[in-house]
Amino acid sequence: MCARRPERLWQAYFVLAGVETLLTVGKLGASSNYWLELSAATSVLIGVVAMRIREVRPERRLFTAPGLAALVFVALLASVPAYQANVSQALEQEFARRDNQPTARAELVAMAAREPGAVLTDDPGIAVEAGKRVEFEFVVFTILATQGIWNEQPILDAIAARRFGLVVLTTSLDDPVRPLISARYTETVRLALRAVYAPAGQLTGYWLYRPE
C-alpha cells in the first residue's frame, strides 16, 4: 500500500493539472498557438501511458517510468522556441518603454492608432495594440478560400470601396503570393489591393499602403 501512495499522488496531480489546463488554456498568439493541438494530444497520450504503466507488471512493461519522464520533457521542449520569441519581444518592448525609447514597432502601432478610419493588416497584433478592430484574419481566411469553403467577396468589396484608410502588410504586394502554409492572402486579394491602394512607405519590415 505504501508503494501505491506516491503513484496515487502523481495520478491526482495529473488529473488536477489536466482540469486546470482545460479551464485556463487559450490562444496566446499566432507564434505559439499552433502548439495547442500537439500539447493537448501529448497530454492525453501521457495520461494513457501513465495508466498502462500502473496496470502492467514491471517485468512486462514496454514503456517505463524513465521513458514517461522523457516523453514529458520532450513535450515541454516542443513549445520552447515559440514562447522564447514571445518573451523576447515582450521584454524588448518593456525595456524600451521604461527607457522612453519607442521601438520601430511601437511607432507603427502609434501610426495605426492615429488613423481615424479602419486599418487592414495581416498582423492582428498591430491592430490589437493600436486599439483597432481586427478587420480580416488573413491567414485563416486565405486557407479557407483556397480550399473552396470561404467566399472572399466581402473583403474584396471592402477593398474596392477603399474602406481602409491604411493597409499594413508583412509582405509587399509586388511579391508573388506565398505557398499555402505561409500565404498571407490569395492572388485575388493581392490584385484587388494593388488595383486601388498605392505604396506609402515601409516601417520596421512592414509595407504601408493608402487608397489612391
Range of the domain at 113: 102-211
Q: What is the DSSP letter of 178?
A: P
Edge-first strand listing for the sheet containing 197-203: 118-121, 164-169, 206-211, 197-203
What share of the chain has pLDDT > 70, as a percent?
65
Tally of structural domains, the chain: 2
Say if CB 209 and CB 167 are below 8 A apart: yes
Q: Determine the residue type at 200.
A: A
pLDDT digits (tens, 9 = 90+) for 10-58: 667 777 776 776 666 655 445 455 566 666 667 777 777 767 666 656 5
pTM: 0.59
What 3-state class would DSSP assign to 195?
helix
Return all residues near 54 (Cβ < 8 A) that are at least 6 apart: 7, 11
Q: Are 192 and 156 in contact (CB under 8 A)?
A: yes
CA angle 39, 41, 44 (to 5 degrees): 110
- Are 57 and 158 in a shared domain? no
Residue 171 DSSP one-character state: S
78-116 residue pLDDT tens: 667 767 766 776 777 667 666 665 677 888 999 999 999
Same structural domain for residues 191 and 119? yes
Query: In the predicted model, what is the mean pLDDT of the chain?
Result: 79
Are residues 52 and 119 located together in one domain of the fold? no
Domain end (from 25, 49, 84): 84
